[in-house]
Structure 1
Amino acid sequence: MTFSDKYIQAPQRLLGDGLINSAHRYPTKTAIIVKNTTYTYGQLNTDAMKLAHALIERGIEPGDRVAIYMENSWACAVSIFGASLAGAVFLVVNPQTKANKLQYILNDSGAKALIANIKLQRELQEACLDVMELNNVIVVGANSKIILNDSILIENFNDVLELVGRHDKIKLPQIIPNDLASLIYTSGSTGFPKGVMMTHQSMVFTIWSLIEYLRIDNDDRIMLVLPLAFDYGLYQLLMSVASGATLIMEPSFIFLGNIYKQVEENKATIFPGVPTTYAMMVASFRNKPFSLESIKKVTNTAASLPPDYIPILRKIFPNALIFKMYGLTECKRVSYLEPELLDEKVRSVGKAIPGTETFIMTIDGKKAKPNESGILYVRGPHIMVGYWNQEERSKKMLVPGELPWERVLCTHDLFKMDEEGFLYFLGRSDDIIKTRGEKVSPLEIENVLLKLKGVKESAVVGIPDEIQGQIIKAFISVDKGIHLTEKEVRKFCNAHLESFMVPEKIVFLDELPKSSNRKVDKKILMEND
């Protein structure tokens, strides 16, 4: 066996190893397709190595933070791996992020370098007026100089790569699996996001656990319509590269027709989405039936996939296995349901992902009995090490386990587990509505509303009320050409819900507001009069 053979078979310990290994195995194979342009694993490895060298030359040391602020693109993929190979901690910021939040993230993370798209120049200029640690900005698509502030060096992305010599002569820094790999910023109750700290070890473990149960191999072609700033989108890139698959990358999910065309032309085999993604596809199908026959696997997370979507999704994806999943950024993924059990366990989100464990504790701190509700806890190498700069919040999520040295993740989400160990999501504990002395799960009402013909999306919130504690308010969007009245909605709810669960207020919207991660934004709905 040659040295090269041994190297190819080396295990993945760091995020960058996944790219290096795949580039050695499949140097000429297509790694990424963006806007009908194909890029090979050899190209991805070369450009990422060049960027890593450039960052090191500009003073980036192991553990330094590098922010990436752009849409899904080739440059974004190169930046993620380039920063990681340089030993930096990368953070991907959603391109929809406005200047005040961008500035907060840059200062909170202490980012020393920022790689951004020139299209976001206005937000960049405003955000960089008052940043503490940032001293290097590399701009993608810039043909001329832009000015941020006097202390920041501005360079062009392509120029930076061209200035670097042979990438095989680059000496990478020594880092180990325990080192931080990424900060993943997620919504916070204060209005500003919090940075979830993930090590190389936890992310690599998660990648291969996901690859195992999703049955991904190097023949797969993943259709990515989710932002890389969203951990669900990020892991599509990481899984694809680690397994030697191909990633078809789209910057957005706005133009459905274009997405369907991309799936068919590139023969995509895996389609990851969130419930809002599938709500749009279901509405599109109802208006004009279609099918995407090349897709072999459909995956869902972020929120529970409504059971009534399943029959239509099977028509849209006639040859696909449908994976229902549940997760949260603090451990990426908690559970999955084997697609063969979808009909038998239609309301379940399955069991713990390979190599991990889940259990449920009642409010009084006892292990929950089968079908008894309680808070879900997660054990495994995939959980975060904490929130960046937020020790007290970290302690609320990471609590002592049974082993003396162990910390387990408290999801603060309500679940129950049946006799066979399958999990059932009951709702976010902080979403539970307390009305008329009863506890009500918004999810239960939302699922009922989605059964009403013509309802495309639904969201339920609790509004403070002096007498009842909270009253239930439902927001609904309907399919094109459908007309529903409050009376019809309330009549349907009365037939399918207990009286205290029937919404007192019903609001029709053309579209429900979405967060940057494509989830329904209930904070905005709470402000709706």
Structure 2
Amino acid sequence: MDMIGDLTLGAYFDELAATHGNKTAIIHEDAEGKISSLSYKILNEKINQSANFLVSLGVKSGDRVAIHMLNSIEYVINFFAVAKIGAIIVPINANFIHADALFIVKKTKPVLILTQAKFMQIYALINKTRKIKFLDINSHKTELENQSTIYETPKFSNLNLAQIIFTSGTSSTPKGVMITHYNLIFAGFYSSWQISLNKDDRYLTAMPLWHIDAQCTAMMPTFSRGATFILLERYSAHKFWEQVIKHKATITETIPKMICTLMAQRVALNEKNHSLKQMLFYLNLNDKDMQNFIDRFNIPSILVSYGMSETIVGLIGDRPSERRKFPSIGRVGFCYEAKIIDKNGNELNANEKGEIYIKGEIGKSIFKGYYKDKISTKKVLNKKGWLHTGDIGYYDEQGYFYFVDRGINLIKISGENVSSIEVEDCISRLSGVFEVAVIGVPDCFNNELIKACVVLKEGFALSADEIREFCSKHLAKFKVPSIVEFYENLPKTCTGKVRKNILKNEHKG
């Protein structure tokens, strides 16, 4: 039986409020350390007031409403308010500048942009050429408070769009991933199962709400179980672990950049005295660095998960009460299928590397397609529900999957395929290396050359020759970088992924 039925996000939150009432739904800590919170009942009333306010501004079902804000309770309120009236959320990365925001505005044509004072100048610039409504939500508090706390949630199909979330654009122009009401509610049920989340848990995240991770592996599963969602305005390496301890978080999530920066912090006497029972981790980190992190912070359990905006959740991952085999990304979760395919479309056997294909139900367990981009949709998603991820991996005889690299990051050297991750893992073992990204750059003789973009730790000195010499001791000759260039920092997406497309474009041959 389908546990979601015909529920939409608005009706779903009405149920959560009725069920959990005065239980704390959300706690928020801003950059200055100010903490605020709301119960499920009050949060739903605030959502209703915001929904009524949006309707008074003329927003209708099917309209696009962009949200350009930092992590906050107001973000969550407006997220659900937009969905409740049947309009479509368009999250905009809070780190975007004028040109990035303009791309999304042109693509989606929102009727309204909800933002904060610090971002108003971006939209003042956009409005010189495009007539759009935008408002600072903090300047309309009186109007919001005067709205009714009751809203009659309309009925419509939960296969309708709830949001258009844009991919990070690490390799190409961002695409608008279409996500339904069903997708988001499903994410809550799926991810809460995956991490064995219960009503007493306190899930803390510093991930940005304009990204799929914060929404579908943190917020939705926490609310689905009536647990408490602890939202940080932004990630701070020197504050984060103190916040984990202070808020008595039982679950949190991390990415390689966070682990790297946390390990660079001075050891604190109480850093092992936390309440964590589990930490989610998303690609990629070598075994040594992961073990050092686990040992230092006394992490009881690391749950590895693999997914993307198009898959809604980490559909391949460690499963409850099953053996974990890091660096395996785990096994396929319920209601999904996965297989490995070669370049000719043939299905491969265990331990053979190829492209990861996954299968789900379109608009339910995987995305509905790319917004106004039928060509890209058809390229990655076939009618049977198989999604071509573009990622390279394999599985072992026990059904555990392993991630090799993004297909776009495989470097072709004189007919050989080289995984950028393999080379990055090797270089990162050098004690003076803080961060490294490996890319392929054009070469008329070898097709591509390997280039290592390296950031050194403060106070350390390494030469390009020393890095190449170290690689030659641990890698095949054709995998050793031909070019080593040092950087003060690497260009990143909002979730800390290195934007290798920028590094490639900036390379001077």
Inter-CA distance 474–423: structure 2 relative to 1 (3 Å threshold): same
Q: Over residues 281-304 of structure 1, what are the superposed CA-to-partner deviations in whole Å (9 max), with x where a residue is unaligned?
A: 122267999435222111122x32
Task: Specify which of 236, 244, 258 is matched with residue 277 of structure 1.
Answer: 258
Amino acid at match of 2:69: M
Q: How does 1:234-253 map to 2 (within 5 A)?
A: 234-235=215-216, 236-253=218-235
Task: Specify which of 189, 207, 212 is matched with residue 188 of structure 2.
Answer: 207
CA distance in 2, matches of 1:454, 1:286: 19
Task: Specify which of 319, 340, 345 is matched with residue 325 of structure 2.
Answer: 345
CA contact under 8 A between 1:28 and 1:41: conserved in structure 2? yes
CA contact under 8 A between 1:295 and 1:317: conserved in structure 2? no
Q: How does 1:324-335 map to 2 (within 5 A)?
A: 324-332=304-312, 333-335=314-316
Q: Over residues 175-234 of structure 1, what are the superposed CA-to-partner deviations in whole Å (9 max), with x where a residue is unaligned?
A: 122111111111348964221001112222222111101111121112211111111122
What is the deviation of 1:275? 1.2
Q: In the alignment, does 2:347 pair up with 1:367? A: yes
CA contact under 8 A between 1:71 and 1:251: conserved in structure 2? yes
Inter-CA distance 227–181: structure 2 relative to 1 (3 Å threshold): same
CA distance in 1, matches of 2:424, 2:431: 13
Amino acid at match of 1:478: L
Q: How does 1:420-459 map to 2 (within 5 A)?
A: 420-459=398-437
Q: In the alignment, does 2:293 pair up with 1:313? A: yes
Inter-CA distance 285–21: structure 2 relative to 1 (3 Å threshold): farther
SS of equivalent to 1:33: strand
CA distance in 2, matches of 1:292, 1:127: 49
Inter-CA distance 242–18: structure 2 relative to 1 (3 Å threshold): farther
122-131 or 478-487, which moves further after superposition? 478-487
Q: In the alignment, does 2:147 pair up with 1:164? A: yes
Inter-CA distance 272–289: structure 2 relative to 1 (3 Å threshold): same
What is the deviation of 1:42? 1.8
Identity %: 28
Instruction: Give the structure 2 partner of residue 393 of structure 1.
Output: 376
447-456 or 9-18, which moves further after superposition? 9-18
CA distance in 2, matches of 1:364, 1:438: 17
What is the deviation of 1:339? 8.0
CA distance in 2, matches of 1:84, 1:445: 44
Instruction: Give the structure 2 partner of residue 521 of structure 1.
Output: 499
What is the deviation of 1:355? 1.8
CA distance in 1, matches of 2:10, 2:293: 35
66-75 or 471-480, which moves further after superposition? 471-480
Task: Specify which of 140, 152, 161 is matched with residue 137 of structure 2.
Answer: 140
Task: Specify which of 510, 513, 518 is matched with residue 488 of structure 2.
Answer: 510
CA contact under 8 A between 1:282 and 1:309: conserved in structure 2? no
CA distance in 2, matches of 1:179, 1:316: 46
Q: Over residues 422-460 of structure 1, what are the superposed CA-to-partner deviations in whole Å (9 max), with x where a residue is unaligned?
A: 111111112111112211110111112222223232210
SS of equivalent to 1:31: strand
Instruction: Give the structure 1 partner of residue 179 of structure 2.
Output: 198
Normalising to structure 2: TM-score of the pair?
0.91
Amino acid at match of 1:295: L
CA contact under 8 A between 1:106 and 1:131: conserved in structure 2? no
Q: Which residues of structure 1 form unaligned runs of 5+? A: 1-8, 143-155, 401-405
CA distance in 2, matches of 1:458, 1:174: 50
Task: Specify which of 329, 337, 340 is matched with residue 357 of structure 1.
Answer: 337
CA contact under 8 A between 1:103 and 1:131: conserved in structure 2? no
Q: In the alignment, does 2:317 pair up with 1:336? A: yes
Q: In the alignment, does 2:262 pair up with 1:265? A: no
CA contact under 8 A between 2:195 and 2:320: conserved in structure 1? no
Amino acid at match of 1:368: L
Q: How does 1:33-182 map to 2 (within 5 A)?
A: 33-35=27-29, 36-131=35-130, 134=132, 136-142=133-139, 156=140, 158-165=141-148, 167-168=149-150, 170-182=151-163
Inter-CA distance 442–89: structure 2 relative to 1 (3 Å threshold): same
Instruction: Give the structure 1 partner of residue 32 of structure 2.
Output: none
Amino acid at match of 2:336: T
CA distance in 2, matches of 1:214, 1:504: 42
CA distance in 2, matches of 1:194, 1:188: 8
CA contact under 8 A between 2:170 and 2:500: conserved in structure 1? no
Q: Over residues 319-356 of structure 1, what are the superposed CA-to-partner deviations in whole Å (9 max), with x where a residue is unaligned?
A: 431011111111122311248777x6222111122221
CA distance in 2, matches of 1:96, 1:189: 15
Inter-CA distance 242–338: structure 2 relative to 1 (3 Å threshold): closer
CA contact under 8 A between 1:260 and 1:292: conserved in structure 2? no
CA distance in 2, matches of 1:329, 1:258: 28
Q: Which has the higher contact order (CA 8 A, sep 6+)?
A: 2
CA distance in 2, matches of 1:493, 1:96: 35
SS of equivalent to 1:227: coil
Inter-CA distance 444–287: structure 2 relative to 1 (3 Å threshold): farther
CA contact under 8 A between 2:493 and 2:499: conserved in structure 1? yes
Amino acid at match of 2:385: R
186-195 or 510-519, which moves further after superposition? 186-195
Inter-CA distance 364–248: structure 2 relative to 1 (3 Å threshold): same
Q: How does 1:412-491 map to 2 (within 5 A)?
A: 412-491=390-469
What is the deviation of 1:256? 2.2
Amino acid at match of 1:358: A
Instruction: Give the structure 2 partner of residue 21 of structure 1.
Output: 15
Inter-CA distance 275–319: structure 2 relative to 1 (3 Å threshold): closer
Inter-CA distance 483–183: structure 2 relative to 1 (3 Å threshold): same
CA distance in 1, matches of 2:135, 2:154: 21
Inter-CA distance 111–214: structure 2 relative to 1 (3 Å threshold): same
What is the deviation of 1:12? 8.0
CA contact under 8 A between 1:103 and 1:128: conserved in structure 2? no
Normalising to structure 1: TM-score of the pair?
0.88
Amino acid at match of 2:215: L
SS of equivalent to 1:399: coil
Amino acid at match of 2:165: I
What is the deviation of 1:510? 3.2
What is the deviation of 1:528? 4.4
CA contact under 8 A between 2:123 and 2:134: conserved in structure 1? no
SS of equivalent to 2:304: strand
Q: Over residues 380-414 of structure 1, what are the superposed CA-to-partner deviations in whole Å (9 max), with x where a residue is unaligned?
A: 132111100001011001124xxxxx232111111
187-196 or 352-361, which moves further after superposition? 187-196
Instruction: Give the structure 2 partner of residue 153 of structure 1.
Output: none
Amino acid at match of 2:227: A
What is the deviation of 1:15? 2.4
CA contact under 8 A between 1:322 and 1:339: conserved in structure 2? no
Q: How many pairs are equivalent?
A: 495
Amino acid at match of 2:403: F
309-318 or 182-191, which moves further after superposition? 182-191
Instruction: Give the structure 2 partner of residue 5 of structure 1.
Output: none
Amino acid at match of 1:311: Q
